[in-house]
Amino acid sequence: MSSLTVLTTTPIKEIIFTISFADRIHSSQIESFTNLVDDKYSVRNFIETEIVTERPEKPSAENTNQQWILKCPEENKIINAKQGSLSFHKIKEYVHFNDLMEEFSRIWETFEKVVGHLKVTSLSVRYLNFINRDVDESDEDLVSIQIQHPFDEPLSTHIARIEFNYKSDPSVRANIICAKAKDGVQNGIILDIILNKKQSELADIEQLKAELLRMRAIKNDLFFTSITERTIKKYSHE
Amino acid sequence: MSENLEIIRLKQQLAQSETYGQTYIDLLDDEGLSTFSSPLFGDLYELLQNILSVYENLTGFQKQMLNAVFNAFNNLRKEIDPDRLKSFEHYFNQDNELLLFRSTERGIVNIIFNPEDCIAYSFISKEHGGDVLKFYYSDQDDFEGLAYNFFSY
């Protein structure tokens, strides 16, 4: 629909890029990777959990899972590195997509330098938006995804999810979630757009960037199709 | 099977959000931080991951003992009774203690993880008498009995 529309303020609250991979990597490799990550990620947490399928006295490397969570408090960014995936979060204030893409690409490049070339299985781009709802507004005023029901009363809470393959690129699976929620004291709606693309190969950083840019365009299309003209005006004037 | 895996994957993805992961849990689970009634947690492993992620300041001792308690929960479910486990809630108090607790018609049952020394199991009965307090100092202690008692009330 209005993919060229530019909002002057943004309802985006969090952006997450995730690369999933099939290879099993050693926890020491993840640790080596974290040592190469920029020092601005000053808060570092290691979490290890044991998955027990037998008696505890029979531990196995297959039954443990380690993950590192690195936080950059100044820039509100998070890296989550664990067995099977690497995620990059940007929370709170908006940052241009290209800047995030460049940083994520550098992080992935560093990761592969340590663990070697990985067999990537999927790529995910997720945008979590929170659309403020004023007292005189209904959900229908703000988003075009609705739950139909036969009851007279307005819903006090709801969570709706729709899932489909994107029409012009069926390799991208879209999940759109609409949930009535609060952000602090502000009432509103979470509009969560999750795009997953199965990959058989991610040859290099340029291919990663190209895939991310394609998914960004899809995200924009789905976002503007999911909101109403009223919401566009709301975030074009505030 | 593949559909189930897709659903589990989606649930994990929803909870992955730093900003709204907890909101999703609350939306899908009226009991707030309670556990097995939440469709976000397909198994004990996911739940343990979530607790470790939420409470970043747990000490090594608390993590070790929490692992041991979850091992016991898992053994209880696998080897004694798959329906034995019931929903419980968790909380981190101002004394840096992690609490797993259940409120039942008969009273409140707690497992309290002290930062360094021990974990305590307590049952506070709503009736006169019947209170229980036990301490565990090592992950080699009888956690099977602890798990059994925690879900007995």
CA of B76 vs chain A CAs: smallest distance (Å)? 11
pLDDT of residue B140: 81
What are the helix and strand counts (H, E) for chain A?
Answer: 5, 9
Sequential DSSP letters for A7-26: -SS--EEEEEEEEEE-----
Cross-strand pairs, A191 = A129, A178
Q: What is the pLDDT of residues B125-148, one digit of tens each?
A: 888 777 889 999 888 888 888 998
* Lowest mean pLDDT across A161-165, B41-45, B85-89: B41-45
CA of B8 vs chain A CAs: smallest distance (Å)? 14
List the single best residue of A52, A62, A165 to mutate versus B (max B Cβ within 10 A): A52
Is the model's pLDDT at B84 over the cut of 90?
Answer: no
Determine the residue type at A42. Answer: S
Question: Do B83 and B94 form a contact (C-beta atoms < 8 A)?
Answer: no
Instruction: Tell if the CB–CB gap between B18 and A14 is shorter than 8 Å.
Output: yes
Q: Helix A205-226 vs helix A97-115: angle between axes, to the nearest 10 degrees?
A: 140
What pLDDT band is residue B30 in, cutting at 50, 70 and 90? very low
Instruction: Tell if the CB–CB gap between A49 and B14 is shorter than 8 Å.
Output: no
Instruction: Tell if the CB–CB gap between B63 and A48 is shorter than 8 Å.
Output: yes
- The Cα B81–Cα B74 span in angstroms is 10
Instruction: Tell if the CB–CB gap between A69 and B53 is shorter than 8 Å.
Output: yes
pLDDT in tens, chain A (238 residues): 444 567 888 999 999 999 999 888 888 899 899 999 999 999 888 776 654 444 444 444 455 667 888 999 999 999 999 888 999 999 988 899 999 999 999 999 999 999 999 999 999 999 999 999 999 998 889 999 887 777 777 666 678 889 899 999 999 999 999 998 888 889 999 999 999 998 877 888 999 999 999 999 999 999 999 999 999 999 986 5
pLDDT of residue B9: 64
B73 touches chain A (CB under 8 A): no
pLDDT of residue A49: 61
